[in-house]
Amino acid sequence: MLVVALDATLGDCREQIQIGFPFAALEPLLRRLAAETTAAPAPEPEPPAPCAWNPSFDEVSIQVTGTWRGWEVAAREVLNLKVGDVLRMDSADARQVEVRLEGRPKFRGRPGLVAGNWAVELTEVVKH
């Protein structure tokens, strides 16, 4: 027996209503529900539509910067820096450039030269 209890309110009166269902009456319904849920697999969700470019942004300028991982130096040493000093970097850090758009990290890449100009080849997207 399945017993369903409902709270009913009518004005100031509040009572509980109990309804009983014998299992024999519910078995055909349960078999039918079980067959429907196992027979029909859920449809695959449609992939999201690709984003369309808004031409209003064609002429908007944004700041793009490339940075290397920094190194630590004592404040006293910073005071002694002068033009012509060479700052040594770890070779692994020098090969990893973080590309920022408007100050937010978006890509990582490696530096190089293209047609005699410095460039960064994007190698991965920074996940937030």
Tens of pLDDT, residues 58-115 = 999 999 999 888 777 888 888 888 999 888 777 777 788 999 999 999 999 998 889 9
The CATH number assigned to the domain holding 79 equals: 2.30.330.10
**Contact 110/120 with Cβ under 8 angstroms?**
yes
Domain membership of residue 53 (yes or no) is no
Decide which of 61 and 48 is more confident: 61
Domain membership of residue 49 (yes or no) is no
Q: How long is the chain?
A: 128
The residue segments making up the domain with residue 81 are 63-125
The pLDDT > 90 percentage for the chain reads: 28
Residue that the structure tokens 């630590």 belong to: 72
Decide which of 31 and 84 is more confident: 84
Write down the pLDDT at residue 8.
84
Domain membership of residue 45 (yes or no) is no
Tally of structural domains, the chain = 2
User: CA-based diameter of the chain, in Å?
Assistant: 93
- Do residues 68 and 120 share a domain? yes
